Amino acid sequence: MIPINFDEQNMILKKPDDMTDTQCMSMPVCCLVDENKNPIQYISCWYLTPEERKIIIETGRVYVCVMSGTHPPILLDINNPFTKEIK
């Protein structure tokens, strides 16, 4: 899976300087902020290759790895968070 550009993105989260492009890549995101302009949510969009789609169909599994000492709240979703439409 690779993070991809999308219409609502408004920033790029840069990869850490001490990591190679193989270990990590920069990620386009939409940063949502509160009334004080503090970030409250980052939304990214990911592309699955045809091979990855086949594996997900076969296994029904996606693994999430967080490069941090703690695990922040996350949401994986198939619905576009920028529309009200639920599939």
pLDDT digits (tens, 9 = 90+) for 38-86: 999 999 999 999 999 999 999 999 998 887 777 788 888 888 899 866 5
How many domains in the chain? 1
Residues 5-37: tens digit of each pLDDT: 999 999 999 988 998 988 888 999 999 999 999
Structural domain of 2:
1-87
Specify the pairing of strand 27-33 against strand 2-4: unpaired
pTM: 0.80
Contact in structure between 52 and 62 (CB atoms under 8 Å): no
